[in-house]
Amino acid sequence: MEQNKLASRRFRERKKASWSQTVIEADRLGLINKELKVKANELELKIKWIKEALRKSNDNSSSQPPHHHPILIHPCNTN
């Protein structure tokens, strides 16, 4: 009878320890998830800034006159 009580107590203690460990692990994973969400938001904002900069760059380059390349003189045409 005493062995059953002792075994039962050990089982409850292990179960409690396991549950405690599960809660600790869940908290840890929750913090990691929160950090990843913050990083993802930061990356999305950086991507938005880059896209905006590229759009502005393309808008500016299309409004400027085309760049004139220097005229190349063919060696046969030199006097």
Please state, rounded to an integer, the average pLDDT across all residues of the chain. Answer: 83
Q: Is residue 78 part of a domain?
A: no
Q: Is residue 70 part of a domain?
A: no
Q: Is residue 30 part of a domain?
A: yes
Averaged pLDDT for residues 46-75: 76
Q: Is residue 53 part of a domain?
A: yes
In whole angstroms, what separates CA 78 from the centre of its chain? 60
Q: Is residue 76 part of a domain?
A: no
Taking the C-alpha atoms of residue 4 and residue 13, their distance in angstroms, rounded to an integer, is 14
Q: Could you list the residue range(s) of the whole structural domain that residue 46 is in?
A: 2-60
More confident residue, 62 or 79: 62
Q: Domain count for the chain, please give it.
A: 1
pTM of the model: 0.53
Paired tokens of 3? 């062995």
Range among 5-9, 14-18, 26-30, 55-59 rated most confident: 26-30
Paired tokens of 28? 């840890």
Q: Is residue 72 part of a domain?
A: no
What band does 20 get if pLDDT is binned at 50, 70 and 90? Answer: confident
Taking the C-alpha atoms of residue 72 and residue 35, their distance in angstroms, rounded to an integer, is 58
